[in-house]
Amino acid sequence: MDRHIPEFYHPSFDDAPSGRFHEVLLLDKSSELSWKDVLQLIPNFPRGWFELANLNCQDRIDFTCSYWLKKLPFHVKLNETLERFFTSLDDIAIFLIKKRPDAPFQAEMVYSIADNGGFYRGGFPATDMNVQTMKTSFPNILLPEDYTSFLQIHDGWWKTTDCTGLIGSDQIADTYGQFQNRFIDLLPITTTEGIPVDPKKLIPFYKSFGMPFYQCFWAEWYPENEMGNVYYSSDSNCISGPCNREAAAEMMSFPTFSEWLAFYLERVS
């Protein structure tokens, strides 16, 4: 397991980065927690996560890889990236965490990259109701299928110690409203080529850690029968414009959510 994971999940009462949790429990085969015990701590804990925690390490990795491939729509680049990503892992662990003494327990699934190569953290899967409620916030916009499918794997996805990352389904409507409020006193938003953009057509689904930079679905760009997504920089008040697939990573304009996810998984820092 990446050496930074125990450091990150170390319980402490101070305000240092290592002290972000009041209590931490690792759920695995050696844990004394029964299914009933876990439900008492977290009533909506997924049964599949409990069963996963009781497998050996390599089985956890193999099973989770198969589940991702089954759950997500087929995409050549993403599937190739997922094969490399899961091969690079040395563990998948599940932590039960309490941030304050009076806070409820939550849980995160942690994907550890071998040789201290970093880690990713995932929240609980979104339910069908979570996804449907999110969709009703955007009644005239069809959110991409690969995006909603990923939310049903992890409704929240963060790189290392990032506390923003992929925005959860229960937060995206509020984030959209906050994002729109940014433009009340700003000059009109444009693409990097100077073409005017209606900000209401931008739906942020990812926020950079500690910075007002977003990856957004753009409801005026449908390169492959699904909404493409672009990068918004508050520094320039611009979005990256449409581009061809070869320039996507450089321009941060991706024709599908799957291609953005492949990009995100290939870059750990």
Reported pTM:
0.92
pLDDT tens, position by position, 19-48? 578 899 999 988 899 999 999 999 999 999
**DSSP-assigned letters across all residues of 176-233:** HHHHHHTTSSSPPPEETT--B--GGGEEEEEE-TTSSEEEEEETT--TTSS--EEEEE
Q: Quick: pLDDT tens for 114-141.
A: 999 999 999 999 999 999 999 999 998 9
pLDDT on residue 129:
95
Phi-psi region of 98 (alpha: psi -120 to 50; beta: other; left: phi over 0): beta
| pLDDT higher than 80, residue 77 | yes
Residues 184-237 have pLDDT tens digits of: 777 788 998 889 999 999 999 999 876 778 999 999 999 988 899 999 988 888
Q: Please choose, from the candidates 147, 150, 207, 154, the residue with its C-alpha nearest in 3D space to the C-alpha of residue 178.
A: 207
Read off the pLDDT band of 269 (50, 70, 90).
very low
**Mean pLDDT of the region 233-247:** 85
Q: Tell me the residue ranges of DSSP E strands in the chain.
A: 23-27, 89-98, 106-113, 119-122, 157-159, 165-166, 190-191, 202-207, 213-218, 229-233, 238-239
Check residue 163 and give its pLDDT. 75
Distance CA 18, CA 6 (A): 9
More confident of the two residues 10 and 49? 49
SS3 261: helix
